[in-house]
Structure 1
Amino acid sequence: MRLNRFIAFNSNYSRREADELIFNGHVTVNGKPVLVPGYDVKDDDNVSVLGKVIDRSDFLYVKFYKPRGFLTSYGDPYGRKNLNDFEFFKKTKLAYSGRLDNDSEGLIFFSNDGRIIHRMQTPKYDVEKEYIVYTKRPLGDEEKLAMENGLEIDGHRFKKCSVEKIGRNKYRVIITEGKKRQIRNMFKHFNIEVERLVRIRIANITLGELKPGDFKFLTKDEIKGLKECLRLE
């Protein structure tokens, strides 16, 4: 991960402030000054800012049930409901992985551990995301097979995915990428309207018994399992 991004993810400094600190010689990696914002920080590097080590033990790992009708953003120029409406996230401004659109609900992962966030957002790690999808009409057998084999929409070929029918108009869908409104667009490709979409899992982290608007800190076992999924253990 780039040094300036690492600092911004794991501290209260912005990316621009991190750049200035680096250029002015206030950042060291393993005890040596680094003046290049694009320096690649390794998992075992010790990064210090103004003489203070960024302590990885201070990292927070949080799962959150985003309710329907809220944006996955800190603030909105049009005054729509967003993460700042939840006091914990307004205060901590944790980075997140697993953006959900306004009409969708379910699991979002938050952390100030830049390594975790970076890997969860990097396609090569194939992080699974599991959804329960409610539709207006069922998929036909050929439509389901085409979706599983990877649809091509607007010039983009989606990766193969898992689609399991678990009710009359209810499906369990597992994908390993996260394009904007991906699942809605896959069903829309067959003129099927999604009435409700709930994400219930990211990697090994599950929604569990969380209710809309609730959050919970990950257990040690969940953190360990997540790092194993992301090849950090």
Structure 2
Amino acid sequence: MADPDSLIDAPPAKRLNKYIAETGFCSRREADRLVAERRVTVNGEVAGIGTQVEEGDEVRIDGDVLRVRKVKPGKRRHVYIALNKPVGITCTTEESVKGNIVDFVGHEQRIFPIGRLDKDSEGLILLTSNGDIVNQVLRKENRHEKEYLVAVNKPVTEEFLRGMARGGMWIHGQQTLPCRAYKHGPYGFRIVLTQGLNRQIRLMAAQFGYRVKQLRRIRIDNLKLGELKPGRWRNLTDAELRGLLPEQTEW
């Protein structure tokens, strides 16, 4: 029997999906999928949803041991980058998809996007090796602001802008929330959303008879695209991370 005193400083057990995500292998959601497909074992036993992992346990995925990343003192545990995504790049981690965003960035660590931008859209998107924070950042109740510049096929009117900003349109079975929309040239507008429905701006505009010709995301909360050139990426600063991540998140 273990000495009770030796257990005082033992780290608490973690849910398996959290443990996998913290290694940077994949997000929690992806980890749950791997577990459901019986591709994960803990100490030689096939794991189940909700399995707890303690220090010293051996976790394997498809037979390969999952390694916990060693962090040097003073170094960040995870990667957080901002990419100016070009048109034609798909926001998926699936290696079978030509032009997937992970291969495009080509980072030495395993990373995945936080949210998405349509293949035919461009601009700011965040990627990280910290799968544990992806769902936290994307939670609906957080309502992160996302700002876009949009070019359309006919002159932008005040009536159109009021309609876009009003909300209440049905898209994918959900109603759009009120937002802010401003004219940006004769054929363009700027819009600030707190939702992230698939192809939301394009579908909203279509309900008023407009077709989106170009869509660029220029801001996510306190993070701005700035002078970052298309196809280039940069590491987020400490100040940007403090404004983006939930409190007490380990970087």
Q: TM-score, normalised on structure 2?
A: 0.72
Query: Does the aligned pair in 1 maintain the 2:182–2:191 contact within 8 Å?
Result: yes
1:194-216: CA deviations, max 9, x gaps? 11000111121111211111010
Q: 1 CA distance for matches of 2:210 and 2:219?
A: 23
Residue of 227, 232, 236 corresponding to 1:214:
232
1:19-69: CA deviations, max 9, x gaps? 5228849xxxxxxxxx874379xxxxx974648876784111111111111
TM-aligned CA deviation for residue 111 of structure 1? 1.2
TM-aligned CA deviation for residue 121 of structure 1? 1.3
Assess, with a 3 A threshold, how the Cα gap between structure 1 residues 5 and 103 changes in structure 2: closer, same or farther: same
Q: 1 CA distance for matches of 2:118 and 2:200?
A: 10
Q: 2 CA distance for matches of 1:7 and 1:55?
A: 14
| SS of equivalent residue, structure 2 residue 41 | helix
Residue of 187, 193, 212 corresponding to 1:175:
193
Q: 1 CA distance for matches of 2:134 and 2:103?
A: 22
Query: Does the aligned pair in 2 maintain the 1:19–1:37 contact within 8 Å?
Result: no
Query: Which residue identity is paired with 1:6?
Result: K
Query: Does the alignment pair 1:63 with 2:79?
Result: no
Q: 2 CA distance for matches of 1:132 and 1:87?
A: 24
Alignment of 1:150-189 (within 5 A): 150-154=167-171, 155-189=173-207
Residue of 1, 18, 23 corresponding to 1:11:
23
Q: 1 CA distance for matches of 2:109 and 2:221?
A: 23
Q: Which residue of 1 aligns with 2:98?
A: 80
Query: Which residue identity is paired with 1:98?
Result: G
Deviation larger for 114-123 or 159-168: 114-123
Larger fraction in helix: 1
1:123-148: CA deviations, max 9, x gaps? 01001111111111133323322221
Assess, with a 3 A threshold, how the Cα gap between structure 1 residues 47 and 55 changes in structure 2: closer, same or farther: farther
Assess, with a 3 A threshold, how the Cα gap between structure 1 residues 130 and 55 changes in structure 2: closer, same or farther: farther
Query: Which residue identity is paired with 2:18?
Result: F
Query: Does the aligned pair in 2 maintain the 1:22–1:36 contact within 8 Å?
Result: no
Deviation larger for 11-20 or 68-77: 11-20
Q: Which residue of 2 aligns with 1:135?
A: 152
Q: 2 CA distance for matches of 1:127 and 1:217?
A: 20
Query: Which residue identity is paired with 1:202?
Result: I
Which structure has the larger Rg? 2
- RMSD between aligned alpha carbons? 3.1
Aligned residues: 214
TM-aligned CA deviation for residue 169 of structure 1? 1.3
Which runs of no fewer than 5 residues in structure 2 stay unpaired?
1-13, 59-66
Query: Does the alignment pair 1:94 with 2:111?
Result: yes
TM-aligned CA deviation for residue 160 of structure 1? 1.0
Query: Does the aligned pair in 1 maintain the 2:156–2:186 contact within 8 Å?
Result: no
Query: Which residue identity is paired with 1:139?
Result: V
Query: Which residue identity is paired with 1:172?
Result: R
Q: Which residue of 1 aligns with 2:222?
A: 204
Q: Which residue of 1 aligns with 2:41?
A: 20
Identity of aligned residues (%): 29
| SS of equivalent residue, structure 1 residue 86 | helix
